[in-house]
Structure 1
Amino acid sequence: MKLYVIVPLCALFTLTQQAPSPRDKCACELINSEKAFPHDKLGSVETNALKCNSNITPQKTLELESLLLGLERRLPQLQDDVSMLEREDDGDLYAVVSLQVIENELREIKLFMDRLNSTTLGHQHLTDDTSKQLEELKAEMQELETYDTMQVVKTQQANNQLKKELDQCSKGLHATDQPTQPPQGNCPHGEFLNITGPRVYTAGEYPGSYTYGAWGQDPKPEAGKESWYWLVMLTSSNKYSNYVRLYSSLSSLIVGVSAPGNVQISPSNPTTNTIQGPNVVLYGGELYYNCYNLDSVCRFNLTSQTVTTLQLPKGTRFNSKGNFCRLDECYPFTDLDLATDESGVWVIYTTTQDFGNLVLSKVEEGESLRLGRTWHTSVYKQGVTNTFMACGVLYATRYLNKDLEEIFYSFDTTTGEQRFNIGIFIKKMSPNIYALNYSPVDQMLHAYCDSYMVSYKVLFNRNGYADNVFH
């Protein structure tokens, strides 16, 4: 009896362990009715779009504008020189000197025309190529849109547009107060309102050669040198220089024709009395700068070619110990910043006893240099990228990104009032501004940016309206 029970159980166990037959398998076939998305084509479109962005830049437009500005200023000068020549005509012989002046003028105008023709032709080719590329990109994007069968992209675009309109409506209903403006103080131009530009953008005589430097005009020029410009490039290790280069006009600087050329401070570089750091100004025919390896201001007279020094207070940080900085780097040897405004020359620095905060002192002119009144601020120097003076007010900037710098701080030497909410933005043509010089002659702000020279117009509110006339 037991034997009959065990045998069927064993047989059942054996059957359950057998592999299923092919007829017992289940397979599903998935058929996609949509076309395969062309990822390679999308990548190609993105690459071509990036190339377009890199080819079309504000710098290219400003290069043309700067050349036109230089030509605009050069032609009236030529007309004046020709008129002078006609007045000197004695019936037989023109003045040789005047003829040489006109010859130089014509040579510089020819340089302008050559560069303008070259630049215009390059822009024309760039425009033609870009137009063709844009048409191709448009066709490719329209083709790619056909793959958006569920209208996801169009729905997102519609939602973004609706959100933008709602934001504009909300801003209209809840208008905010205008940001606080810098103090007017005793400025003859009125209240400092804004910065516009860039007005000039040029690589000058040595394109891309010298990253650090400074340039500008002399606010108190000698007679006959009112239109001159000066340039200091740090030619040794981006830290030192031993000469200042002069240009007879803005147009000469733009096309890179230096006259009278270099005025040398010393024959070697670096050594005693040579320039250390990019923060340099020219005032009254004298160059003010950080003396080499000293916590002192040097003043170099371009006529007598003599140097006078001014010792700064004990504890002044120098030799790259108290630089201007941004978040991820500092600008070497920017311990001392020299500045000019309507009242003369200033020096901005920091000391150990001020715990790294900005200190501002007036430099008093005379045969021997001396410090005038000094002000102590509450802004940390290494949180600042640059400073400049305008109408007795100190302004400080900070780095926002590669395209924008912000004037965020002001200190009024008349009232002692300091503000941290200025909110005026400088549109940059290259990531770093290594020197800022304000010119009280024409209210221009001259910036030296990664070997490029850029200028901006400072707008003041004169008699209740913005003084935005370009000189």
Structure 2
Amino acid sequence: MCLSKWKTFFLFLSLFIVQGVMATDCACELTSGEKPFPKDKLLSMETSAVACNQKIQSAKVSEEASLRLGLHKRLLQLQDEVSVLEQEDDGGLYGAVSLRIIELELAEILQLINRLNTTHNMHLSLSTNVTATVQQLTEELKQLEEFDQMQIIQKLEENKGLQRSLAQCHEELQATPPPPTLPPGTCPRRRLAQVNGPSTYTITEYGTSYYYGSWGQDPQPGPGRENWYWLVALTSSDVFANYVLLYRSFSALVAGVDSMVISISNDNPTTNTIQGPNVVMYGDALYYGCYNTPSVCRFNVTSREITTAALPANTGINNKFPFCHLGACYVYTDLDLMTDDSGVWVAYASEESYGNVMLSQVESGDVPKLGRTLKTSLHKRTATNTFMACGVLYATRYVDKETEEVFYSFDTRTGVERYDLDISFKKMQTNIQSLNYNPSDHRLYAYANAYAISYDVIFE
């Protein structure tokens, strides 16, 4: 009896649970914090874009160009007919007929002009409307980009940028390769082709105080000075100097720090004072024009020893044969010291050469002396600077405030002279007071109105 009661109770309980579960609905409310995507707005923009594209079909755009071309041809035809009428001499027999034809031509041309004006005005209105539509569509597209949670548009733009970079790389690979870079110290033994740059352009630590001077690197430096730079500024009246500055790097020269000041003499000027801006350094020694003397001085920066090589007795000094252009002369540039792969050269002029450039090689030794001497037909006052490269003397001249030109060459091996080089390069300052070629890095070092500038030299 008790067992049957418990069975009845459990049966009733199970029915109650099943009915309760079946009677209750299971629902879940989803709330999104994102705005719904404006599909209707996108469709509207697409419709506007299609309509805008239809307004600027190529046939409509080319209509004005066709009218212009037709008008041009009719005007040329009318010009020919008027010329024929002017040349006719028929006693007035056909003149009236020709004038009537020209009158009809003018009427048709006027119709073309009116049609062209109408078309042009229509295109102006069309352009204004299309511009406004495009601007509106652009703004609406930017608003739609907010719904791009997966950053698809950003990725597409990045892909387009990569494609443009890849196309540019292909163009660069297919382009003409640049001239090969020459190893340091080599001489190509070919003619100068280009002067590129400037590669460097900086003021020195003196600021703009001293307009005359020179700078560069030693082609044959002493041990540990391979990367050093030297600077000589004419600190006395743009004429004299009595010391040279050595910098451990180009950045040190730019900043005016970490320099070594080496005095040549305590007084200025004296017999050994630097005179003129055309100074070079070669083999750990400074070569320059001696003060008030037709001689080349050599100052060893390590031993502080000074030796000299005498020039011919009538060599011009003290502004007798300086470099010049039509506007002015560069004072005390009678002697021009130069370097190339073979060593040191000096250009000068004398009364015996009638002011034409003489070129001598300065031979090294315990005491320097002049070696091979060559005569040229280049009058020194017609040039602004000279420099040596691979045994060839080059001369420059002033073109304008922004341009200098290498116009002359003299080959010391063959004696061949040329006046037709026409190699222009950009100036950063109006005047270049000194210019020298360095065979170790194939650069021209210029000192221009207190600025230190360098150029890359390209040979054929």
Q: Distance in 2 between matches of 1:311 and 1:290?
A: 10
Is the CA contact 1:358–1:376 (under 8 Å) kept in the aligned structure 2? Answer: yes
| Structure 1 Cα separation of the partners of residues 378 and 434 of structure 2 | 19
Aligned twin of 2:221: 221
Q: TM-score, normalised on structure 1?
A: 0.58
How far off is 1:223 after superposition?
1.4
1:341 partner letter = D
1:370 aligns with 2:359: no
Give the CA deviation at 1:454: 0.5
Post-superposition offset of 1:320: 1.3
Provide the rounded CA distance (Å) in 2 between the counterparts of 1:321 and 1:301: 29
Partners of 2:436 and 2:247 in 1: CA distance: 17
Determine the structure 2 residue equivalent to 1:397. 396
Secondary structure of the equivalent of 2:287?
A: strand
| Structure number with larger C-alpha Rg | 2
1:267 aligns with 2:266: yes
Q: CA deviation at 1:449?
A: 0.3
Kindly indicate whether the alpha-carbon contact (under 8 Å) linking 2:187 and 2:439 is maintained by their aligned counterparts in 1: no
- Is residue 2:452 matched to residue 1:450? no
Summarize the alignment of residues 144-155 of structure 1 with structure 2, pairs less than 5 Å apart: none
2:321 maps to amino acid: G
Secondary structure of 2:429's partner? coil
Q: Which runs of 5+ in 2 are unaligned?
A: 1-185
Q: Find the aligned partners of 1:191 and 1:380 in 2 and give their Cα distance.
A: 22
Aligned counterpart, 2:290:
291
Q: Alpha-carbon deviation of 1:328?
A: 2.2
Partner of residue 252, structure 2: 252
Partner deviation per Cα, 1:143-167 (whole Å, 9 max, x = no partner): xxxxxxxxxxxxxxxxxxxxxxxxx
Partner of 2:330 in structure 1? Answer: 331
> Secondary structure of 2:254's match?
helix
Q: Which moved more, 1:191-200 or 1:286-295?
A: 191-200
- Offset, 1:314: 2.0
Query: Partners of 1:449 and 1:299 in 2: how far apart?
Result: 24
Contact 1:214 1:279 in 2 (8 A): yes
In the superposition, the TM-score normalised over structure 2's length comes to: 0.59
Separation in 1 of the partners of 2:240 and 2:258? Answer: 21
- State the secondary structure of the residue aligned to 2:330: coil
**SS of structure 2 residue aligned to 1:400:** strand
SS state of the match for residue 382, structure 1? helix
Q: CA deviation at 1:251?
A: 1.4
Q: What are the residue-to-residue correspondences of 1:45-444 with 2, within 5 Å?
A: 187-188=187-188, 190-259=190-259, 261-444=260-443
Please list every run of 5 or more consecutive structure 1 residues that lacks an aligned counterpart in the other structure.
1-185, 462-471
1:187 Cα shift? 4.0
Deviations 1:114-173 (A, max 9, x none): xxxxxxxxxxxxxxxxxxxxxxxxxxxxxxxxxxxxxxxxxxxxxxxxxxxxxxxxxxxx
Q: Per the alignment, in what secondary structure is the counterpart of residue 329 of structure 2?
A: coil
Question: Once the 2 structures are TM-superposed, how far is the Cα of residue 189 of structure 1 from its aligned partner?
Answer: 6.0
SS at match of 1:438: strand
Residues 253 and 189 of structure 1, relative CA distance in 2, 3 Å threshold: farther
Tell me the residue number matched to 2:12: none
Partners of 1:340 and 1:443 in 2: how far apart? 11
Q: State the identity %.
A: 56
Cα pair 2:188 2:459 within 8 Å, conserved:
no
SS at match of 2:323: coil
Deviations 1:374-404 (A, max 9, x none): 1100010001100000000000001111101
For 1:200 and 1:189, the matched residues in 2 are separated by 26
Aligned-partner residue type, residue 280 of structure 2: V
- Mapped to 2, the partners of 1:447 and 1:223 lie a distance apart of 25
Q: Which runs of 4+ in 1 moved over 6 A?
A: none
State whether residues 384 and 396 of structure 1, in contact with CA within 8 Å, keep that contact through their aligned partners in structure 2: yes
One-letter code of the match for 1:233? Answer: A
